[in-house]
Structure 1
Amino acid sequence: MKHLYVFILVFMLTSCEYFNVKKTSSEAILNEELQTFNWNDVDAYPTFSSCDSMLTKQEKKQCFESHLTTQIFSFLESEGIVVTQDINDTIVLSFEVSETGVLSLSSSKIDTLTFQEIPNIKTLLNKSIDSLPKIFPAIKRGQQVKIAFELPVIINVK
């Protein structure tokens, strides 16, 4: 019986260390989470309501880009641009979609010949995105976020 009491006493004294709870600060958890967080990717790209039927993230991105490109082309064609030289150029447009779904043209890389032939090209490009339907912003971890992307657009005027 003495041995049982001694065993229980030793067990109680040594087992306390197994029940110690190691405290982790919220800062340490936040730092660990931030290191595993991929800042360059979103859970869902910006989209138009017409692209909701797409299943994968990549399909929705392609739908958004093609819809945007189609809108720009349609607007530029309706403007009836007249040039003195043939233009076959790829311009790179940099866009931003805000957290509220507002699309804005942040910059554009336009060849000097294209800019000489169509001096109001930047104004036309800005007008073309003004008539877009409602854009749903990008989503990252359940939050609406701002996203920037580039879109190459081929200008072919004869």
Structure 2
Amino acid sequence: MLTSCEYFNVKKTSTEAILKEELQTFNWNDVDEYPSFSICDYSITKEERKVCFQHTLTTHITDFLQKEAIVVTQDINDTMMLQFQVSKLGKLVLLKSKIDSLTINEIPNIKSLLDKSLDSLPKIFPALKRGQQVTTEFNLPIIIHVD
């Protein structure tokens, strides 16, 4: 019968090595759960929750803009690209907006209207990554059509 001590050798791994290996496999561009509103709790999958969040936010903004008395001299049909950030505390901020110059000329206060529409949003639950609340950014197209 032959035995070897090599079988019983244990490799020592430092915590730094474990952390380095873990960070290399970590996907920084994806979250476990997207930001959400309480009305999106019925959604089961991650993708359904994302769609519900985007739909709720889009509907809220467009409803707010429709209630405003916007007077224009020519028809507007524009898709605004809005870049948002949801902090790890659930605060939504409009970072950037890409709006056609015709829309800005016809509705000079469009950016302030967009900011104002966010004031009355329902509570937002931040995104989660490994059980921790994290800050996320996303782009959302909003179609504006004024006759």
* TM-score range relative to shorter protein: over 0.9
How far the C-alpha of 1:28 sits from its partner, in A, is 1.1
**Equivalent in the alignment of 1:26:** 15
Equivalence for 2:61: 72
Query: What CA distance in whole angstroms lies between the structure 1 residues aligned with 2:105 and 2:15?
Result: 58
**Higher normalized helix content (fraction of residues):** 1
Structure 1 counterpart of 2:118: 129
Structure 1 unmatched runs, 5+: 1-6
Q: Which whole-Å CA distance do the structure 1 matches of 2:60 and 2:117 have between them?
A: 7
CA RMSD of aligned residues (A): 1.1
- CA drift of 1:156 comes to 0.3
* Cα distance per residue 1:36-60 (max 9 Å; x no partner): 1111110000000000011001011
Moved over 4 A (4+): none
TM-score by length of 1: 0.90
Cα distance, 1:77 vs structure 2: 0.7
Hey, what's the Cα distance between the residues in 2 that align with 1:65 and 1:16? 60
CA apart distance, 1:20:
1.9
- Give the Cα separation in 1 of the matches to 2:80 and 2:61: 12
Deviation at 1:15, TM superposition (A): 2.9
Offset at residue 155 of structure 1 (A): 0.6
Please give the TM-score of this superposition, normalised by the length of structure 2. Answer: 0.97
Q: Which residue of 2 aligns with 1:4?
A: none
Q: Residue 145 of structure 2 aligns to a residue in which SS?
A: strand
Residue deviations 1:51-105, cap 9 Å, x none? 0011001011000000000100111011121100100000000000000000000
Paired residue type of 1:79: E
Q: Matched residue of 2:4: which SS?
A: helix
Once the two structures are superposed, the pairs formed by residues 1-150 of structure 1 within 5 Å of their partners are 15-150=4-139
CA deviation after TM superposition for structure 1 residue 109, in Å: 0.2
Deviates more, 1:78-87 or 1:16-25: 16-25
- Following superposition, the deviation at residue 25 of structure 1 comes to 1.0
If you compute each CA radius of gyration, which structure gives the higher value, 1 or 2?
Answer: 1
